[in-house]
Amino acid sequence: MLQKATGDFDPLNKLGQGGSGSVYKAILPDGKTVAVKRLLYNTRQWAEEFFNEVNLISGIQHNNVVKLLGCSIEGPESLLVFDYASNRNLDQVLFDENKRQFLSWKERFEIILGIAEGLAYLHEGSKTKIIHRDIKNSNILVDDQLIPKMADFGLARRFAPHKTHVSTGVAGTLGYLAPEYLLQGCLTEKMFILLEWWP
């Protein structure tokens, strides 16, 4: 059904390309428009990222976090189905010459506020603290009302309440990483905001 809904993964329906796969616009039989993330797993790490993303966000219900509608696992290919964001991602809204929108300061402020509220929910409001580890413009989707929605949780990690830090291999996009995390590979609760917002 998803293959048909994307026009057999037609390049014209391609919304974006990431390190582990591509995202396509799809129209379901009931007329609903969704985004289908197509992941081709040929390594164990990619499989772990897929299951990590499904496990972390399947129960999250927040206006500023992309909603996972379903998933499919067949053979080497896995599909994630998300709500569709008509303005694609924040990077395109701000910088792509073909899709760029000129945002007022009020609109920019509302987008920043929405991202901050989403991060606060992940860090403090959800049942378990979640560190995204790869917040950047291209991982912030923007819907038709300019509401930002955090996406791509493949590198995210849970932060257990009784822990003071998480030791992990450095992950994310260089240039967006907190220096302490890059040098020590140790995440602390006080480093959450710095890690998520390092310019």
Element (H, E) at 60: none
Task: Point out the residues that are catalytic.
Answer: 134
How far is 193 from 178, CA to CA, in rounded Å? 9
Token code pair at residue 84: 């569709």
Tell me which amino acid residue 62 is. H
How far is 81 from 95, CA to CA, in rounded Å? 26
How far is 171 from 166, CA to CA, in rounded Å? 13
Q: 81 with 69: CB under 8 angstroms?
A: yes
37 is in an annotated binding site: yes
Give strand pairing partners of 142.
Answer: 148
Annotated binding-site members: 37
Annotated binding-site members for ATP: 37
